[in-house]
Amino acid sequence: MRKTVVALLGVVGLLFGTAGTALAYEPVNVVHTEQVQVGPYALTVGFSTWPVKALQSLDFTFVPDGGIEGKSGTLSLVRPTGKRSSRLEPLVRHPRKLDVWGLDVRALPDPGDWKFVFAVTGPDGPGEGELVLPVQEQPGPPMGVSWAISTVPLFGLVALIVIAWRRTREDTSV
Residue by residue, pLDDT tens for the chain (174 residues) are: 888 877 777 777 777 766 555 555 567 789 999 999 999 999 999 999 999 999 899 999 999 999 999 999 999 999 999 999 878 899 999 998 889 999 988 999 999 999 999 999 999 999 999 999 999 998 888 878 888 899 999 999 999 999 999 888 865 565
Residue 93 inside a domain? The answer is yes
> Residues 101-132, buried b or exposed e (16+ Cβ, 10 A)?
bbbbeeebeebeebebbbbbbbeeeebebebe
Domain span including residue 86? 32-135
Q: CATH number, domain at 64?
A: 2.60.40.1930
Question: Which amino acid, one-letter code, is at 29?
Answer: N
Q: Give the global pTM.
A: 0.69
Q: Give the separation between CA 31 and CA 51, rounded to whole angstroms.
A: 10
Q: For the CA atoms of the chain, what is the radius of gyration?
A: 25
Residue 10 inside a domain? The answer is no
Residue 164 inside a domain? The answer is no
Residue 87 inside a domain? The answer is yes
Residue 68 inside a domain? The answer is yes
Residue 173 inside a domain? The answer is no
Q: Provide the domain count of the chain.
A: 1
DSSP 8-state symbol, 53? B
The secondary element (H helix, E strand) that includes residue 153 is helix 152-168
Residue 6 inside a domain? The answer is no
Residue 169 inside a domain? The answer is no
